[in-house]
Amino acid sequence: MTPLLNETHDPALRSWVASANRSGTDFPIQNLPFAVFRRRGSAEAWRGGVAIGEQIVDLAAVAQAGVFSGDVAQAAQAGAQDKLNALMALGQGAWSALRLALSRALREGSPQQAALQACLVPQAEAEYDLPARIGDYTDFYTSVHHATNIGKQFRPDNPLLPNYKWVPIGYHGRASSIVVSGAAFHRPKGQLKKPDAEAPVLGASQRLDIELELGVFIGTGNALGDPIAITEAEPHVFGICLLNDWSARDIQGWEYQPLGPFLSKNFATSISPWVVTLEALAPYRTAFERPADDPQPLPYLDSPANRAAGAIDIQLEVGLQTQAMREAGLRDARISATSYRHAYWTVAQMVTHHTVNGCNLQPGDLLGTGTLSGPTLDQAAALIELTLGGKQPLQLPNGESRTFLLDGDAVVLRGWCEKAGAARIGFGECWGTVLPARP
Ligand SMILES: O=C(O)/C=C/C(=O)CC(=O)CC(=O)O
Ligand SMILES: [Ca+2]
Ligand SMILES: [Mg+2]
């Protein structure tokens, strides 16, 4: 699983799609992430596409035009369907071959320019669907900083439970309420119990929160009963997207013992449309390190490659745009910035741990990393941490303040990788808007 660099990572590559060469683009020719799209407001079929600058390579058009042959044509055909599951199931060799073929065909001077030019759709004209049929969704808890901060609020005497540093903790989430960026959702109702109240009441959540996470899409699964070794884990991963695990803290505080989050988290989970492949992220792999006095992972969760390069330096930020800001034409205000490199457990460890008991993962399954808070307060990835449990409001640049979300608030997640000597690899944006609770 050592992330080998290949010709697709060369920072000197330039595309004949001019917008892909602009500095600051999320989608240079070195990225080539996948989504499911169609022209906005049209009755066209949904199909897979690959981002290049401000354009989308329409995989259905590519397949129809016969731009590629052999295995690459087969991969493009699989990617032309209304969900990416068939492409995911073909395996890493197929995704990688399609990515390489597209990288070559999109380069300046490519003899395939004319054929591919006819397959481009501007992102400005597109709308997106979920990239995959998500059979199962599991949310992990891989930031020790989040676990400590939120643990202090839910369990003041015992914030970080003793299993945390041994087991990659997770809970089974709900796939049906995962929505794609741009979707609005109603403030959830649920059982709420004030600390001094004798009994709970049914009401709209007053402590509606965000959780900045990444989503890990499984490409190829494993047979039931057949665990995935850590040395084999990464080739099972199709790619990574942005994920906002909207959370109702008041519902959560009352319901979560003893079986964990339930209705406090399954009313909506937003993901970005673009899925960035692990291959595109290879230049941003970094060492996965545990503090020396922490327990080292059990052997089944440890490997030389995981130690050398298990972490990924993905920069992440959260923006909040209130209704008043939107009406005044103001953009979102940044309320947090962090990096995925602070995670306590890696992608490979999540996959391996999930299957160690024989549980089977399937193409299109989604793993959430958990809230990716970094070590300092300004790197906290949920409002419950940023506002110290709602006691210290965030001041917004237009004079408003927030503890938890109000109706009309929109939240955007952004992610990107950037460093000298490598192309910027971006994830685009993941938006969601809070509507009032239903009467
Ligand atoms: O510690 C708890 O009881 C609750 C934790 C969470 O709400 C976080 C969760 O969903 C997992 C995560 O995002 O890290
Ligand atoms: Ca979560
Ligand atoms: Mg949620």
pLDDT in tens, 298-321: 999 999 999 999 999 999 999 999
Domain boundaries, the chain: 9-129, 137-435
The residue ranges of DSSP E strands in 146-245, in sequence order, are 170-172, 178-180, 184-186, 189-192, 201-204, 208-209, 212-218, 237-244
Rg (CA), the chain: 21
102, containing H or E segment: helix 92-105
Q: Quick one: pLDDT band at residue 121, thresholds 50, 70, 90? A: very high
For the stretch 247-262, pLDDT in tens is 999 999 999 999 999 9
For ligand 1, atom 2, the nearest C-alpha belongs to: 151
Who has greater pLDDT, 291 or 45?
45
Cα 232 to middle of ligand 3, angstroms: 30
pLDDT the model gives residue 154: 85
Q: Quick one: pLDDT band at residue 438, thresholds 50, 70, 90? A: very high
Q: What is the DSSP string of 317-367?
A: EEEEE-HHHHHTTPPPEEEEEEEGGG-SS-HHHHHHHHHTTSPPP-TT-EE
9, 146, 236, 353: the active-site residue: 146
pLDDT the model gives residue 19: 98
Instruction: Note if the pTM is more than 0.95.
Output: yes
Contact 121, 42 (CB under 8 A): no
286 is in an annotated binding site: no
pLDDT at 439 exceeding the cut of 80:
yes
Cα 123 to middle of ligand 1, angstroms: 34
For ligand 1, atom 13, the nearest C-alpha belongs to: 370
282 phi and psi, to 5 degrees? -50, -40
pLDDT the model gives residue 2: 46
pLDDT at 1 exceeding the cut of 80:
no
For the stretch 159-212, pLDDT in tens is 899 999 999 999 999 999 999 999 999 999 999 999 999 999 999 999 999 999
First to last CA, the chain: 52
ipTM: 0.94
For the stretch 316-335, pLDDT in tens is 999 999 999 999 999 999 99
290 is in an annotated binding site: no
pLDDT the model gives residue 349: 98
- Please say if 145 is a catalytic residue: no
Residue 326, CA distances (Å) to 142, 146, 323, 330 in order: 33, 30, 5, 6
Which residues line the pocket of ligand 1, CB cutoff 6 A? 139, 141, 146, 150-151, 154, 211, 213, 245, 247, 256, 261, 265, 370-371
For the stretch 230-251, pLDDT in tens is 999 999 999 999 999 999 999 9
For ligand 1, atom 1, the nearest C-alpha belongs to: 151
The tokens 């990572």 sit on which residue?
9
pLDDT at 148 exceeding the cut of 70:
yes
Which SS3 state, helix, strand or coil, does residue 191 take? Answer: strand
- The chain-wide mean pLDDT, for the chain, equals 97
Residue in 137, 138, 146 to alter for ligand 1 test, most ligand atoms within 8 A of Cβ: 146
pLDDT the model gives residue 3: 64
Cα 370 to middle of ligand 1, angstroms: 7
Cα gap 348→272, rounded to integer Å: 21
Cα 236 to middle of ligand 2, angstroms: 22
How large is the average pLDDT for residues 341-365?
A: 98
Return the CATH fold of 9-129: SH3 type barrels. (2.30.30)
Q: What is the DSSP string of 130-153?
A: -SS----EEEE---HHHHHHHHHH
The DSSP 8-state label assigned to residue 436 in this structure reads: P
213 is in an annotated binding site: yes
Cα gap 62→201, rounded to integer Å: 55
Q: What percent of the chain has pLDDT over 90?
A: 96
Q: How many residues does the chain have?
A: 439
Q: Quick one: pLDDT band at residue 289, thresholds 50, 70, 90? A: confident
pLDDT the model gives residue 236: 98
Return the CATH fold of 137-435: Fumarylacetoacetate hydrolase; domain 2 (3.90.850)
Ligand 1 closest atom vs CA 252: 7
Q: Quick one: pLDDT band at residue 404, thresholds 50, 70, 90? A: very high
pLDDT at 420 exceeding the cut of 70:
yes
